[in-house]
Amino acid sequence: MEQSLWRNRNYLTLMSAQLISSLGDWLSMIAIFTMIGMKWEASPLEVSFTMLSLVVPMALFGPFAGIVSDKFPRKALMITSDLVRAVLITGLAFADTIGMVYLFLFAIGCFSAVFIPSKNGKLKEIVPERHLKSAMSVTSAIDSGTKIAGPLLSGLLVTLFPVSIVFFIDSATFLLSAFLLVFLRGDRIVNKETTNPSTSIKEDWKEGFHFMKEQVFLLSGLIIIGSGLLILQLADSQFIVLIRQLADASPDLFGYLITASGIGMLTTGIILARKTDYNAFVLMIAGMGGLGVSFSILGWFTHIDLVYPVIWMSVLGFAAGFTSSLGFIPFQASVQLTTPSHLTGRVFGVVNSVTTTATIAGPLAGGIMATFFGVIPLFIGTGVLLVLLSVTFYINRRKLQDTEQERQITGKNGARTFLNP
């Protein structure tokens, strides 16, 4: 299975471009949060607004971007997105106020909103259905691997050079990614159905949403992921503020935490790439619960100012990364496996809109809560809510499974689902 996948030249080209651009993303993200969180000593709300600047355009333009990726050549859209983002990342090197950082991140988010559904749609086109689960796991493993190397390299670069150098390097990675995508060859279309060019954007978006609504298993998964992200983002955007509460606080701790999280995500990706006969619904529930436990312990250990924070933050960061991927990878693979090629952009546009909306409301509410109640209670409370969410869905899993089986009996869809793999 893996041998056939790795002989797919289009897939290798796409993954190589993703590897390079993702590495650059983590270089700049660590540099940004180090700059505003440790050097500029940004407040919890300012840290939240920094994250919001990047995800708001994805929520606003996610559905539209998904429709665009279905109507126009995805290769051209990805190359254009990379080139424009290369210019915008360079602009961050000259930002001297947090307001300028907000503006550049917002613009970068707009073009990232186009790139993501285009990449997912292209993956559906060039990878046979029997290899999609493995392909999605490898994609996640690449993201996780760059999450390991990026923070380590970024920490070294920030120590040796001005932060602006990191942004120039990130810009170069986008240029190299665009160059590689030029060599993406003609695609083997999995589903040759095309959309009616006369339909409106509103009708196109409704078509993607209607498909999601008819798939009980996808809709349930989207609810889990969306609500889980909403709760998660209450605290996730405040990690740099949490670290500042420690007596031995340092910028290196943030890098170690992110790196350990990346190792955990990479481990999950490797495991799921090899073992594809999993029950995605159960893994999603377990992942959210494990993530909640990790967050609560992080908050508690920070409260007691436990010694050797490098060790326990790295261990808990690994656990958080490992369990979070147990939820996100199976859901993404299920969406890819179930959605027809000609609807991939629309469906992922709906998914991205829901998830990024959660990542908008979460950091904003989290920044306000951290300001009024403190960041440590926020982490502990967030963890408890995630555990309660996972328990609630586990208790109701049978009811969802029965609903899906009834829908299949009526003949609406007999495809495999992540409730019944």
**Which of 248, 382, 359 minimizes the C-alpha distance to 313?**
248
Comparing 354 with 107, the larger pLDDT belongs to 107
pLDDT exceeds 50 at position 294: yes
Domains of the chain: 2-184+200-409 (1.20.1250.20)
Q: Would you mind telling me the total number of residues written for the chain in this entry?
A: 421
User: 287-313: b or e for each residue (b if 16 or more CB lie within 10 Å)?
Assistant: bbbbbbbbbbbbbebbeeeeeebeeeb
- Burial (0-12, 13-18, 19+ Cβ within 10 Å), 374: middle
The confidence band for 299, taking pLDDT boundaries of 50, 70 and 90, is very high
Q: Which of 20-24, 95-99, 195-199, 270-274 has the highest mean pLDDT?
A: 95-99
Task: Catalogue the E-assigned strands of 77-122.
Answer: none
Largest distance between two CA atoms of the chain: 64
The helix or strand, by DSSP H or E, that contains position 277, with its residue range, turns out to be none
pLDDT given for residue 296 in this prediction: 94
Using one digit for the tens of pLDDT, what is the confidence trace for 90-105?
998 888 888 898 999 8
pTM over 0.75: no
Four-point Cα dihedral 322, 327, 329, 331, nearest 10: 180
Pick from 136-150, 152-166, 269-283: least confident: 136-150
The rounded mean pLDDT for the chain is 78
Structure tokens at 24: 């650059």
